[in-house]
Amino acid sequence: MENIEKARFIKSSTSLESCPKPVYPEYAFIGRSNVGKSSLLNMLADIKNLAKTSGTPGKTRLINHFLINNKWYMVDLPGYGYIKDARKDKDDILKLITSYILNRENLVCIFILLDCRHEPQVIDLDFIRWTGINKIPFVLCFTKADKISTSMLDKRLKNYRKILLESWQTLPHIFITSSVKKSGREEIVKFILDTNRTVNI
């Protein structure tokens, strides 16, 4: 199987219009602030500091593009749910996220990151439903699996499945990851590479 052999940061964008030209398939990663998004991106690329990690929630404010194998993009979107500064900043970031998701023509799939240590959160469920209503392809990616027991993880997944099946007949792909143990990497990379073979961009 082809692997990630080359990954490089391309640019940070303040708007949809300033993003790189839409010539490659894009896979965007988003979740509540402090969900472990940057750590997951670094784990997938196998580069320690490709995406900047921070202990401060809400640190990512821009759309960050990383070119993988000169063939496709990983996109680091701002987190939702926590903005330390003024309300206007929160509104601006929400507009940036929604503009990108609804209008980016080469966006193939969104990875919605969920911290598996927590019960289903309203803000996550609302975002999942919004993505579905707008017919945006997405998968669910549970992070920090090394932080809880297997039995507790199974309980969290069961709760999510039960709630989501109230709105959907079938569930999206679900990935379980740990950036510390590098678990879930092979499954996600395979999913992306397999999907790339089916898209025409």
Residue 180 domain-assigned (yes or no): yes
Residue 2 domain-assigned (yes or no): no
Residue 201 domain-assigned (yes or no): no
The answer for 163, left when phi > 0, alpha when psi is -120 to 50, beta otherwise, is: alpha
CATH number at 167 reads: 3.40.50.300
Residue 68 domain-assigned (yes or no): yes
Residue 79 domain-assigned (yes or no): yes
pLDDT tens across 105-158, in order? 999 999 999 999 999 999 999 999 999 999 999 999 999 999 999 999 999 999
How many domains does one find in the chain? 1
CB 153, CB 115: distance < 8 Å? no
Residue 48 domain-assigned (yes or no): yes
Mean pLDDT of the chain: 90
pLDDT tens across 22-43, in order? 999 999 999 998 899 999 999 9
- What angle do helix axes 185-196 and 37-45 make, rounded to 10 degrees? 70
Mean pLDDT for the stretch of residues 2-17: 91
Residue 163 domain-assigned (yes or no): yes
- Assigned token pair, 176: 């379980």
In angstroms, the CA 164 to CA 128 distance is: 9
Residue 189 domain-assigned (yes or no): yes
* Structural domain for 139, as ranges: 7-196
